[in-house]
Amino acid sequence: MTTDTHSACLTRIVDDLAEHGWSLQPQFITLTLTRKLAEECRQRAVQGALAPAGVGRGTQQQVREGVRGDHIQWLEPGQHPACDEYLQALDELRVALNQGLYLGLEDFEGHFALYPPGAFYQKHVDRFRDDDRRAVSVVFYLNDDWQAEQGGALRLYLPNGETRDVLPQAGSLLVFLSADMPHEVLPASRDRLSLTGWLRRRGNGPL
């Protein structure tokens, strides 16, 4: 997938993370691939493959719709050609972040996420208290023609005390440091689709 345009995008992400701790790129991959990923997410939803997401990890995980209301399915290599192409683009991002910021990122975990109308995710951070492997959060949006009045923004709580609302517009990639950036997902009036995941380093927590 590496092109001059994609390489420039990776460089902007590295620079933004170094300076601000987050980056928003309006066109991370091609529109064609974005639409294939959106269709795959919808197909999985129709087939009943997306399950209510839990809060917490391991034996402590539980579904709490009052905290988060999305439905998810984890990505695995070989599931679908479009997914594999997306995973390759994220691996290129992982390499660029390691080269530019020396983060020691080793792998990626992520899932499709569908928020039905009215669903939300309360303010939280992405790193678990007992597992520090998640270093960089990566959210890629799959929603064509999203309008501000439809809601569904991801609200970032920036270190300087300000907030930034990011609309889930198809093709946009939001990247931020997992431990440093509290955020929440606001309710929307239509289905809200994304690919959400984390670039991980070797951590001190249990496997």
> 5, 2, 3, 22: which is closest to 13 by C-alpha?
22
- Tokens 């270093």, residue? 135
What is the H or E stretch that residue 151 is in?
none
CB-based contact 72:53 (threshold 8 Å): yes
> 186, 96, 97, 83: which is closest to 140 by C-alpha?
83
Q: What is the reported pLDDT for 120?
A: 95
Domain boundaries, the chain: 4-52+68-201
Q: What is the reported pLDDT for 56?
A: 52
Kindly state the average pLDDT of the residues 92-118. 97
Mean pLDDT (the chain, rounded): 91
pLDDT digits (tens, 9 = 90+) for 138-170: 999 999 999 999 999 999 999 999 999 999 999
Window from 31-45, 48-62, 156-170 with minimum mean pLDDT:
48-62
Beta pairing, strands 163-166 & 154-157: antiparallel
Q: Which fold has domain 4-52+68-201?
A: Jelly Rolls (2.60.120)
**DSSP state letter for 205:** S
Q: How confident is the model at residue 1 (pLDDT cuts 50, 70, 90)?
A: low
Evaluate if residue 78 carries a pLDDT over 80. yes
Q: Which residue has the higher pLDDT, 204 or 52?
A: 52
**DSSP state letter for 1:** -
Kindly state the average pLDDT of the residues 115-128. 92
Q: How confident is the model at residue 207 (pLDDT cuts 50, 70, 90)?
A: very low
Q: What is the reported pLDDT for 128?
A: 76
pTM as predicted: 0.91
Kindly state the average pLDDT of the residues 17-35. 96
Total length of the chain? 207
Q: From its phi and psi, is residue 9 left (phi > 0), alpha (psi between -120 and 50) or beta?
A: alpha
9/62 Cα distance (integer angstroms): 37
